[in-house]
Amino acid sequence: MTVETLIALAACALVGIGLYALIAHPHPLRKLVGFNVLGSGVFMIFGALARRGAAAGMPADPVPQALLITAIVVAFAATAMTVALLLRLIESTGSSALATEPPSGDGDAL
Amino acid sequence: MMTTVVSLVVALLLLALALWTVVARDAFLAIAGFVAYGMLLSLVWVRLYGIDVALTEAAIGGGLTGALLLGAVARLRGTEAAAWSERSGIGLRTAAKLLSLGVTAVLMICVLALPEPAPTLAPLVADNMAATGVGNPITGVLLAFRSLDTMLEAIVLVIAVIGVWSLAPDDCWGGRPGQLHHADPDGVLAYLARLLPPIGIIFGIYLFWAGADHPGGKFQSATILAAMWMLVQMAGLADTPATANRWLRAGVVSGPLVFVAVGLLGLWTAGHFLGYPADWAKPMIIVVEVALLPTLVLVLALLMNGAPARSDRR
């Protein structure tokens, strides 16, 4: 088995681990960490595909690698946006609950 | 053989750290694990011959995201116990486990069934690199062959900043994010905030300029420059900027606007949007890169700062 296949298989497991945290973890911040783990697994599979595409004297296909750089930056922006939403949720309701029942707190209405 | 063993160990460590971020009871420990995970991930990128990706992962994926989450966990103390009490039932957790295992299994089957030889665009890139005038194929893809993606990404980043700012409470609209930091003026933080920025700025600009022909580029460079600015803010030597500041807002949109302008210019000179006229590719790429760098520095730092929380009205 080649190294990139090995890494791609590990990345598949990362996707599973991240997905589980996203669904089952009760705290929203931990869901966000799970989401990032899921994303990094997807990126790693893509990176392994890029490595498989080595040709023309290049050690890996540069097109997927460039898209990965874009993806990492966009994932950071999405994470920052989610953290800001989460902090605002706690500031206005005093709880990080994502329950369907809206808390009847006196948080300032947006 | 040796490298295969090392890769196997790194892969297993990565899986163990990922599991740790899920099972750790304490959110702070979970996120500390995630930061280590990000650093290990950049080793995997080196192993996959993606040096540019490894630099981006270490700077943004591990560094900035880790710092952001650590900052959030400090402010979310006290909400953890309540969250655990509303933990979903064993039934749902078992279903989630089965779903995750199923997704992993399907992905693994797909990975093992990939076509041979692998499809690749590398020869096309190699054939056309000379036309771009840059030596690093990643930069060539980002700023020439797939520049539309990079332009849209820059616009997405600006939208993210608008999204974060719009979370300001009514009375803090247009104000400054976070708390005013007070550090001991003779302390080690204030000392480092005076010592490191000159070195960091030079290194950041070097990384930016080297990106044309070697691994590096504007994203990695912008992260270092943004980190230097945040260090100065944390040491209390400069306040975070008010979001109502017109110069700040102009800086945030300037990069994408220049990029769109270069794209429209291409419509006129090269016949299609984002096209570069022959022999003018390198200067155009430099114009876009130089315009994007300050925007990226501002955007990354502003996303780290978060929503306005202090009124700026006197």
- DSSP structure string for B181-209: P---TTSHHHHHHHHHHHHHHHHHHHHHH
Q: Which domain holds residue B211?
A: 134-314
Residue B55, in any domain of the structure: no
Residue B228, in any domain of the structure: yes
CA separation, residue B159 to residues A80, B46, B64, B117, B252 (Å)? 12, 31, 19, 40, 10
Smallest CA-to-CA distance from B189 within B237, B235, B239 is with B235
Contact pairs from chain A to chain B, CB under 8 Å: 281
Residue B157, in any domain of the structure: yes
Q: pLDDT-based confidence at B313, cuts 50/70/90?
A: low
Q: pLDDT-based confidence at B16, cuts 50/70/90?
A: very high
Contact list in B for residue A83 (CB cut-off 8 A) is 68-69, 71-72, 306
Q: What is the pLDDT of residue A110?
A: 45
Record: contact B100-A17, CB cut-off 8 A: yes
Tens-digit pLDDT profile for residues A47-105: 998 888 888 778 888 888 999 999 999 999 999 999 999 988 888 877 666 655 554 44
Q: Which domain holds residue A41?
A: 3-93
Token output for B27? 């959110």
Phi, psi of A25 (to 5 degrees): -75, 135
Tens-digit pLDDT profile for residues A15-56: 999 999 999 888 889 999 999 999 999 999 999 988 888 887
Q: What is the pLDDT of residue B14?
A: 92
Residue B226, in any domain of the structure: yes
Residue B16, in any domain of the structure: no
Q: pLDDT-based confidence at B88, cuts 50/70/90?
A: confident
What is the average pLDDT score of chain B?
86
Residue A106, in any domain of the structure: no
Helices (H), chain B: 2-23, 27-47, 51-56, 65-75, 80-85, 90-112, 122-132, 137-140, 147-165, 188-210, 218-234, 246-269, 281-305
Q: Which of A3-12, B132-141, B176-185 has the lowest mean pLDDT?
A: B176-185
Residue A80, in any domain of the structure: yes
Residue A38, in any domain of the structure: yes
Question: How many domains does one find in chain A?
Answer: 1
Q: pLDDT-based confidence at B300, cuts 50/70/90?
A: very high
Question: How many domains does one find in chain B?
Answer: 1
More confident of the two residues B260 and B173:
B260
Using the Cβ of A23 and the Cβ atoms of chain B, whether some distance falls under 8 Å is answered with yes
Three-class SS state of B308: strand
B 19-78 near A (Cβ less than 8 A): 19, 21-22, 27, 30-31, 34, 37-38, 41, 44-45, 47-50, 52-53, 56-57, 60-61, 64-65, 68-69, 71-73, 75-76
Residue B25, in any domain of the structure: no
B 236-275 near A (Cβ less than 8 A): none
Residue A23, in any domain of the structure: yes
Residue A98, in any domain of the structure: no
Token output for B217? 């580029």
Three-class SS state of A98: coil
Q: Please report the ipTM that was assigned to this predicted complex.
A: 0.90
Residue A104, in any domain of the structure: no
Measured between CB atoms, which of B52, B80, B119 is closest to A27?
Answer: B80
Q: What is the pLDDT of residue A79?
A: 94
Q: What is the pLDDT of residue A98?
A: 66
Helices (H), A1-107: 3-24, 28-52, 62-93
Q: pLDDT-based confidence at A106, cuts 50/70/90?
A: very low
Q: What is the pLDDT of residue A99?
A: 59
Record: contact A72-B80, CB cut-off 8 A: no
Residues β-bridged to residue B198:
none
Q: What angle do CA B218, A48, A81 make, to 5 degrees?
A: 50
Of how many residues is chain A composed? Answer: 110
Q: What is the pLDDT of residue B1?
A: 64
The mean pLDDT of B98-107, rounded to a whole number, is 94
Burial class from Cβ neighbours inside 10 Å (0-12, 13-18, 19+) for residue B260 reads middle
Tens-digit pLDDT profile for residues B199-235: 999 999 998 888 878 877 888 899 899 989 988 888 8
Residue A109, in any domain of the structure: no
Q: pLDDT-based confidence at B244, cuts 50/70/90?
A: confident
Residue A107 has pLDDT above 50, yes or no: no
Distance CA B235, CA B187 (A): 9
Residue A71, in any domain of the structure: yes
Q: What CATH number should be reported for the domain holding residue A50? A: 1.10.287
Distance CA B314, CA B303 (A): 25
